[in-house]
A and B are shown apart, each in its own frame.
Chain A
């Protein structure tokens, strides 16, 4: 499927789709969206890029194996769950909130970081599975 039109389009679509996935991730707290869907969209963006340009190019674009996103995401989610224990002495997974308005994001709290962790895990899992299967001899 390495047509010129698709390849050219994919180079522009990848950043747009990634940006869109982050937008979906961040708006999740107030409107439909969230880490899970956002992660899936980001994964689709990379898969799309690999269809147009070949897996090798996508991998070199990523620089590291997407599998590393899984532990990173798990750790981020876990520590956002731990943060109330560390900072406030509250039990695991209590929501911690910054009381004030942050431009663009609205309110910021531990749940946002938890969702980011979910996002990273989903991207990592999806890409690992798809890349592994498409690389299999």
Chain B
């Protein structure tokens, strides 16, 4: 499995070198990667059907309990098949959609990184690696939304999306760490094996749940975080299809489903999901009424569908899990189809304005067929799988644990509005008479129109023969969620009952609404007036305010004068450390235990004092620096006297280099200027004395603490046995705490690159921002 995940990353690296090859006429070959993965995951179906779980594990940081563990169960398999299956179609589709695009290779690179990250996300057993892949999907989504980086709107949407999903990522990290502390493990499988009471009764249970919800709701665009998703539609259509409808936005759904057996069942879990899901599905289904951009309609109906999924999972019954599992498949199939057909319309006619488009069936027949089937499936009309999904949803909602009647009304209204949205996106552009301006629209290449047809046909096939997915996908998913998979039986015809009547009502009202209410630009502007109170503009206002605050802050505290920085840092340090130390100092100096002062020490001490006085009172910068160097060297001598040769050596070299650096910098400064008046010198003098005094007290305080020799003893005893070295200091640096050193040298490198960049970067006159 790990090789399946790595394949996408490796392909992205390959594209850096072989980009030219995949940019030209061989672009479509790149779709072989997701196709291969799709076939690979298909072969797991028999094993998963028997109720087995496939596991793989690699050590990563075993001392922190972080393993690269991968688990393939029903839930992961469903997502893997969606990711690779739709991925295959999208890869092929892109080869025509972005035909001969200058950066097609880059696009494929981002797309395959995304695919790999998404696979990693749904296969991870370890929550830390799940988090890592989660962040990777956000980052690749950022690059894909901002793919048209010459447009400001694209860049802005990409940043908004990254901001919101990045915030969610932070929640996720915090959430999994809290969860790890509650359960004592980072493995989901081990969490499942624990007794649920232990987790749910824990005092931090609520915190963990809220944090995980924060992650899931931002990623899956739930109210009030939904607004990044319509913005993300600035991305090329294949991206909208793949990331922002079929896969990535379902990562939040996946997260909630994955943790349902661990954390679910409590009131806070179920109620929050139901309420947030219901608000989202209604709010955005209404919003879709006021869009004229096809992608806008689809974006809001996608958010609504995600709301339905949250809502279904929140009910927590076997019925609702089944409905959710079926609806994931339903939605992925019809929404991907509609996005792909919208992309074709956009690509061939150059517009997505639904008020302009009509009669396209005469020129884009096969595309129209796919779109209409998808619209029917989205409306839940038999014999498509959409009908099945809707029936199951109604059935589950009727047996909801709380306020069932109200919820049924809500879901029926949502479904009516979604039917309208589906018809507008799938039927409206192909209906009626063809306007003159669209007469010479041509069919695109087959790689573009075959994918939506395939998806549409699957909607039909699964609808007519639901047993194909019943055993292979739905049952394993439901049992992974902790439901009773034995009770499930999918069938198109459920008999003449309340649910069927509700279905009829939905279809009748929805179709009437479609003929009565046409999308118009007037409605869109009318609803635009309410924009001021939407979460999006509130967030934007907050951003503006925050930017103002931070520039004010910068003006005050970071005004570019080094002496101010140093003053502020030391001032606060004295304030805070000094405050905690008042009345807490325990040290006392016992003169009887002090060793005698030797002649050498006395000499060194006198030299040090002279050098310090010289530094303070000299009027030349250069001599001040040299005098500081003398102080440094005398400290080296002190280290030598008290047998710390390693420290002395390092201090000696560092001091030499510091003096050289100082001289190099000072050499470029103007001659000694009087930048301080008398008062400031006194102020600085007092501050320095206080700081020096504080450090001295601190050092004495450290000495008076009882010495804990355990760690020191461990290193001293084991450095030769375990690490074959006799120099304990060096063994700690390169072996026991080698990871720290690794990070330190990385920081050093970053610092050097920073200096190099700052001093060497000379922008061309034209590039300079005035």
- Taking Cβ atoms with an 8 Å cutoff, the residues of A that contact B are 24, 28-37, 40-41, 43-44, 47, 67, 70-71, 73-74, 77-78, 81, 85, 89-93, 95, 97, 107, 109, 111, 114-115, 117-118, 121-122, 124-126, 128-130, 132-136
Contacts and interface: CB of A to CB of B under 8 A. Distances in A.
A43 B733 contact: no
B649 A77 contact: no
Instruction: Name B's interface SS.
Output: helix
Contacts of B727: 28-34
Contacts of A133: 661, 664-665, 755, 759
A63 B60 CA distance: 39
Most buried by A among B59, B61, B645, B649: B649
B59 to A, nearest CB: 5
B752 A107 contact: no
A71 B725 CA distance: 27
A129 B755 contact: yes
B756 interface: yes
Interface string B646-684: 100110011011001100110010000000000000000
Contacts of B661: 129-130, 133
Contacts of B726: 29-31
B730 A44 contact: no
Contacts of A71: 749
A125 B749 contact: yes
A28 B664 contact: no
B755 A128 contact: yes
A67 B63 contact: no
B529 interface: no
B257 to A, nearest CB: 32
B745 A77 contact: yes
Contacts of A77: 741-742, 745
Contacts of A95: 722-724, 735
A126 B723 contact: no
B765 interface: no
Interface of B: 59-63, 645-646, 649-650, 653-654, 656-657, 660-661, 664-665, 668, 722-727, 729-731, 733-735, 738-739, 741-742, 745-746, 748-749, 751-753, 755-756, 759-760
Contacts of B646: 32-34, 37
Interface of chain A: mostly helix, strand, loop or mixed: helix
Contacts of A115: 730, 734
Given A32-B727, A74-B745, A132-B756, 20 more contacts: A32-B645, A35-B733, A37-B649, A40-B650, A40-B654, A44-B656, A44-B657, A77-B742, A90-B59, A91-B59, A92-B61, A93-B739, A114-B735, A114-B742, A121-B745, A128-B755, A132-B759, A133-B665, A133-B755, A136-B759
B650 A130 contact: no
A37 B649 CA distance: 7
B760 A132 contact: yes
5 contacts: A29-B726, A36-B650, A67-B752, A95-B722, A114-B734
A44 B63 CA distance: 39
A107 B731 CA distance: 13
A73 B742 CA distance: 10
A29 B745 contact: no
